[in-house]
A and B are shown apart, each in its own frame.
Chain A
């Protein structure tokens, strides 16, 4: 077991003398023997990996990676966005021999990955959603998909389905990706009817079942008749919304089995393809670019099949727009556009295409969204 005596391991033992006993014990485990050949890939999730949502989408990607010959996949779920994730990463590296890590939750990146990565220059850290920039460790990278485009398509389906001209969005935290989703959802609906408004409720946390249910009920009380969300597990929002007779637009994964009649469509991740590509690149000896992005065209994002409640008119506009987006470079945020406080976001003729990195520092809600970022 030569890897046990690599510089990393020695350094690790020296810096944490108290852990020495544990390390010896770990080296006796059969798992330590089995991983001599091939690639070990570690996936870290913030929630349960079968949550009908964010974590399930990543776990489905991990499942695809398991199919690749010579690859061992280790997974740990329910890892908080605290120093806990640093411990999990170090134990995956030191005890399981992982050389490629996918810590998937947004809050893992800064400071946790940025703290651990410089200590292990041979290990590759791939983070979902973070904004990698020059000057950050070369062995880290960030990848993400333009799922806002999926929310734009959701918005088109919602715009055709709403009768009250009010649609609802249950959001976790006002970070750029969430704001882009909210704005795209409304702009999609407004491409059908410019009178439509979108009511957003922030719950403040990625996973708070009771509050998500309360938020969905509050939206229904205010007359919203279509709801979508950006929380880790959309199951509660979907089930509560369906119970209140709202049409549903899914997010992260396909939630149509929860309420097939009310489910219009949904914006889903397609991590299986992304992860398979990344792992194959690593096996072939190549390097994954530090900054990876892709949308519907690149297969990072896909839409759930349209549900039975989607009208023909909606289907036509949905499919036409999807075809446009599939060409790449589609712009949802384009002028003339104001935010909901009256500031100009984009003048006439100005447009931010899906791959514009400026969208990843979004801090506004567009006109027509009822809500506030703080």
Chain B
């Protein structure tokens, strides 16, 4: 193994950004879609944990990691559709339902997940993009999972959808002005139901990434709040899927800072370095905020901005 010394830090941040960010990417672009349609789903943390459990369980029984991902997406879809269906009822608060579903999702996942803590399920494959290098650290950092690439594709595709397609326009109208959408003859409830459903499915896939690739096993502590943080990242990214991707990368990279600094001998104050992602997010939010106007890109129908 080559001694790379301090180069380990930027390399770890790069590698960490790629490894750790994928769940953030999926949850946040899914939530971006849901919120663009005018709804908030705070329950994605629960969906993610249930996705992690169901993905692991199905992968273990079927011996196929990809079937696990599909199963996680399916259960995520169910959670999302359920959220969308309940919120459609009159006088239902989407934030309260989200919190309830978060607790339900994690609770159900813990309950059904009990027998799967011990078994070892197959992992998702990764593509060795570091093949050109003979430094093992670089090869390891650039071992990129297919889901990460899928996340990039989805982010770009969704951004294109919002900007240039009819479906994107419909979602945006529903999210910005229910009255305008009704005047156009759009079925608001259906649009929101589907948007929330797809958002849930993507959160399920994020969970499957956690349990099937990195760190790659199922237990009750698998999520350290990725589902919740990703919801905050959406606001940070101003509801733009491509920005969600960058925000997720930033968050993943900052998260890798703590362990990497300790490994090169910067050992004092590691609790502080572990707070880096949150401090960074706060700092950027403050730096990009404006005292004169509200967030310009916020969907008009969101219950937090309305």
Query: Do A and B come from the same complex?
Result: yes
Residues of A within 8 A of B (CB): 47-48, 50-52, 78, 164, 199-204, 207-215, 217-223, 225, 233, 235-236, 239-240, 244-245, 257-258, 370-372, 374
User: At the interface, yes or no: B291 with Cβ under 8 Å from chain A?
Assistant: no
Please tell me which one of the listed residues A52, A164, A199, A219 contacts residue B118 in the complex, with CB atoms under 8 A apart: A52
Please tell me which one of the listed residues B120, B224, B264, B268 contacts residue A210 in the complex, with CB atoms under 8 A apart: B224
Tell whether, in the assembled complex, residue B137 and residue A221 are in contact, meaning their CB atoms are under 8 Å apart: yes
Tell whether, in the assembled complex, residue A258 and residue B219 are in contact, meaning their CB atoms are under 8 Å apart: no
Q: How far is the CB of A230 from chain B (nearest CB, A)?
A: 15
Tell whether, in the assembled complex, residue B217 and residue A201 are in contact, meaning their CB atoms are under 8 Å apart: no
Q: With A204-B270, A204-B271, A221-B263 given, can you name 14 additional A-B contacts, CB distance below 8 Å?
A: A47-B221, A164-B1, A201-B262, A209-B224, A210-B224, A214-B19, A214-B20, A217-B140, A222-B263, A236-B215, A239-B215, A370-B265, A372-B270, A374-B269
* Chain B residues within 8 Å of A225, by CB: 1
Please tell me which one of the listed residues A51, A212, A221 contacts residue B215 in the complex, with CB atoms under 8 A apart: A212
* Chain A residues within 8 Å of B118, by CB: 50, 52
* Chain A residues within 8 Å of B4, by CB: 221-222
Tell whether, in the assembled complex, residue B1 and residue A223 are in contact, meaning their CB atoms are under 8 Å apart: yes
- The residue of chain A having its C-beta at the shortest distance from the C-beta of B15 within the complex is A217
Tell whether, in the assembled complex, residue B255 and residue A210 are in contact, meaning their CB atoms are under 8 Å apart: yes
A201 CA / B271 CA spacing, docked (Å): 11
Selected A-B contacts with CB under 8 Å, 23 pairs: A48-B117, A200-B262, A201-B262, A201-B263, A202-B270, A204-B274, A209-B219, A210-B20, A210-B226, A213-B19, A214-B16, A214-B260, A215-B259, A215-B262, A217-B16, A217-B259, A218-B256, A221-B4, A222-B4, A223-B1, A225-B1, A233-B219, A236-B217
Tell whether, in the assembled complex, residue A371 and residue B11 are in contact, meaning their CB atoms are under 8 Å apart: no
* Chain B residues within 8 Å of A207, by CB: 219, 221
Given known A214-B16, A218-B8, contact A233–B263 (CB-CB < 8 A): no
A207 CA / B226 CA spacing, docked (Å): 15
User: At the interface, yes or no: B152 with Cβ under 8 Å from chain A?
Assistant: no
Instruction: Scan residues 146-191 of chain B and give those whose CB is less than 8 A from a CB of chain A.
Output: none
Q: How far is the CB of A196 from chain B (nearest CB, A)?
A: 15
Tell whether, in the assembled complex, residue B221 and residue A208 are in contact, meaning their CB atoms are under 8 Å apart: yes
Instruction: Scan residues 6-23 of chain B and give those whose CB is less than 8 A from a CB of chain A.
Output: 8, 11-12, 15-16, 19-20
| Chain B window 114-146, contacts with chain A (Cβ cutoff 8 Å), 1 for yes, 0 for no | 100110100000000000000011001100000
Tell whether, in the assembled complex, residue B12 and residue A48 are in contact, meaning their CB atoms are under 8 Å apart: no
User: At the interface, yes or no: B222 with Cβ under 8 Å from chain A?
Assistant: yes
Tell whether, in the assembled complex, residue B216 and residue A239 are in contact, meaning their CB atoms are under 8 Å apart: yes
Given known A207-B221, A214-B256, contact A221–B120 (CB-CB < 8 A): no
* Chain B residues within 8 Å of A244, by CB: 140
A245 CA / B136 CA spacing, docked (Å): 10
Tell whether, in the assembled complex, residue B267 and residue A209 are in contact, meaning their CB atoms are under 8 Å apart: no
A204 CA / B217 CA spacing, docked (Å): 20
A233 CA / B267 CA spacing, docked (Å): 23
* Chain B residues within 8 Å of A208, by CB: 221, 224
Instruction: Scan residues 228-273 of chain B and give those whose CB is less than 8 A from a CB of chain A.
Output: 255-256, 258-260, 262-265, 267-271
User: At the interface, yes or no: B66 with Cβ under 8 Å from chain A?
Assistant: no
Tell whether, in the assembled complex, residue B16 and residue A78 are in contact, meaning their CB atoms are under 8 Å apart: no
Tell whether, in the assembled complex, residue B263 and residue A213 are in contact, meaning their CB atoms are under 8 Å apart: no
* Chain B residues within 8 Å of A221, by CB: 4, 8, 11-12, 15, 137, 140-141, 260, 263
Q: How far is the CB of A224 from chain B (nearest CB, A)?
A: 8
Tell whether, in the assembled complex, residue A239 and residue B137 are in contact, meaning their CB atoms are under 8 Å apart: no
A201 CA / B259 CA spacing, docked (Å): 6
User: At the interface, yes or no: B85 with Cβ under 8 Å from chain A?
Assistant: no
A316 CA / B256 CA spacing, docked (Å): 40
A222 CA / B8 CA spacing, docked (Å): 7
User: At the interface, yes or no: B110 with Cβ under 8 Å from chain A?
Assistant: yes
Tell whether, in the assembled complex, residue B221 and residue A211 are in contact, meaning their CB atoms are under 8 Å apart: no
* B215, B220, B258 — most chain A CB neighbours (10 Å): B215
- The residue of chain A having its C-beta at the shortest distance from the C-beta of B110 within the complex is A78
Q: How far is the CB of A343 from chain B (nearest CB, A)?
A: 16
* Chain B residues within 8 Å of A203, by CB: 259
Given known A201-B259, A207-B221, A214-B256, contact A372–B140 (CB-CB < 8 A): no
Please tell me which one of the listed residues B8, B12, B216, B259 contacts residue A236 in the complex, with CB atoms under 8 A apart: B216
Instruction: Scan residues 184-221 of chain B and give those whose CB is less than 8 A from a CB of chain A.
Output: 210, 214-217, 219-221
Given known A210-B20, A211-B224, A214-B20, contact A371–B140 (CB-CB < 8 A): no
A199 CA / B256 CA spacing, docked (Å): 17
- The residue of chain B having its C-beta at the shortest distance from the C-beta of A232 within the complex is B221
Q: How far is the CB of A234 from chain B (nearest CB, A)?
A: 11
A214 CA / B254 CA spacing, docked (Å): 12
* Chain B residues within 8 Å of A372, by CB: 267-268, 270
Tell whether, in the assembled complex, residue A210 and residue B8 are in contact, meaning their CB atoms are under 8 Å apart: no
Across chains A and B, which 4 residue pairs bring their CB atoms closest together, nearest first? A372-B267, A213-B215, A218-B263, A207-B221
A210 CA / B140 CA spacing, docked (Å): 16
- The residue of chain A having its C-beta at the shortest distance from the C-beta of B263 within the complex is A218
Given known A78-B110, A212-B215, A258-B120, contact A202–B140 (CB-CB < 8 A): no
Given known A164-B1, A208-B224, contact A219–B263 (CB-CB < 8 A): yes
A234 CA / B182 CA spacing, docked (Å): 55
- The residue of chain B having its C-beta at the shortest distance from the C-beta of A49 within the complex is B117
A217 CA / B262 CA spacing, docked (Å): 12
Tell whether, in the assembled complex, residue B263 and residue A199 are in contact, meaning their CB atoms are under 8 Å apart: yes
Tell whether, in the assembled complex, residue A202 and residue B117 are in contact, meaning their CB atoms are under 8 Å apart: no
Tell whether, in the assembled complex, residue A210 and residue B265 are in contact, meaning their CB atoms are under 8 Å apart: no
* Chain B residues within 8 Å of A200, by CB: 262, 267
A78 CA / B113 CA spacing, docked (Å): 13
A371 CA / B263 CA spacing, docked (Å): 8
Please tell me which one of the listed residues A211, A217, A235 contacts residue B219 in the complex, with CB atoms under 8 A apart: A235
Tell whether, in the assembled complex, residue B215 and residue A218 are in contact, meaning their CB atoms are under 8 Å apart: no
* Chain A residues within 8 Å of B220, by CB: 47-48, 78
A164 CA / B269 CA spacing, docked (Å): 27
Tell whether, in the assembled complex, residue A371 and residue B262 are in contact, meaning their CB atoms are under 8 Å apart: yes
Tell whether, in the assembled complex, residue B12 and residue A217 are in contact, meaning their CB atoms are under 8 Å apart: yes
- The residue of chain B having its C-beta at the shortest distance from the C-beta of A215 within the complex is B259
Q: How far is the CB of B144 from chain A (nearest CB, A)?
A: 14
A219 CA / B15 CA spacing, docked (Å): 13
Q: How far is the CB of B301 from chain A (nearest CB, A)?
A: 34
* Chain B residues within 8 Å of A48, by CB: 114, 117, 219-220
